[in-house]
Amino acid sequence: MYKKEKQTTEWGNNMTKILIIEDDFTIAKAIKEHLCKWDYDAHYVKDFKNITGQVLEFDPQLILLDVMLPYFNGFYWCGEIRKISKVPIIFISSASDNMNIVMAMNMGGDDFIAKPFDLNVLTAKVGALLRRTYSFHGQVNILEFKGVILNLSDTTLTYKDKKIELTKNDYKILQILMENAGRVVSREDIMQRLWESDSFIDDNTLTVNITRLRRKLADIGLEDFIATKKGIGYMVE
């Protein structure tokens, strides 16, 4: 009896992570099992109330996203994901009329495949989109702590649908604090990080920078995000 040889791809061998956002678990499991045969690291969402949080946690290189979902539809979640990531998104949906396809692309989708689909065709589309997208890097280029999202690619900060632009110093200060969330960062370490970006500041200037940054954070509801530890430094907690 002829046995089909297991096939792999350049991307599969790297255990590319794929997140499946599909509320029909029969379909989700079938997609996962098929992708795993190609050595992809595929997982599917089970909690549809906090999809963005699961994207942050899993850090996928590609997302398969249904349109019709509990609580909020796929268009909404695509928009939310696009606030934090450029990860490629393929919509998978039986709602394949032109209006839904156009909406999917306008909300930030990269491709659309109509249900029912052949799993081999889906896998081919996944591989093609991965090849087009990557000089391979992790795609959720952010730091997140207690719902506060620092985007490392465009130096913005988002909290509860509010987004602010950061200066270079604001960004560097928040970056080192969020990299060490829950731990105190000394004033000396913060100044060293700023010096690395050619911002030569002294102790007094750092105080001014922290005060100005706290005012920006307070404007979006983060009054106590940066805590002072007297005689030591600062922390986010």
Architecture label for domain 10-133: 3-Layer(aba) Sandwich (3.40)
The boundaries of every CATH 3.40.50.2300 domain in the chain are 10-133
pLDDT at 50: 86
Strand, coil or helix: 22: coil
Q: Is the dihedral of CA 181, 186, 190, 196 positive or negative?
A: negative
The boundaries of every CATH 1.10.10.10 domain in the chain are 142-236
Q: CATH number of the domain at 142-236, please?
A: 1.10.10.10
* Total-model pTM: 0.56
Q: What strands lie across the sheet with 226-229, from one edge to the other?
A: 185-186, 233-236, 226-229
- Is 136:166 a contact under the CB 8 Å cutoff? no
Q: What is the pLDDT of residues 87-112, one digit of tens each?
A: 899 999 887 678 888 888 888 888 88
Give the number of other CB atoms < 10 A from CB of residue 202: 8
pLDDT at 147: 81
Q: How far apart are CA 220 and CA 69, in angstroms?
A: 30
The average confidence (pLDDT) of the chain is: 83
Q: H or E segment at 166?
A: none
pLDDT at 18: 94
Kindly list the distances between the CA atom of residue 60 and the CA atoms of 15, 49, 79, 135, 186, in Å, as whole numbers in the listed order: 11, 18, 16, 15, 34
Confidence of residue 198 (pLDDT cuts 50, 70, 90): low
Q: What is the mean pLDDT of residues 59-67?
A: 91
Give the residue with greater pLDDT, 142 vs 190.
Answer: 190
pLDDT tops 70 at residue 12: no
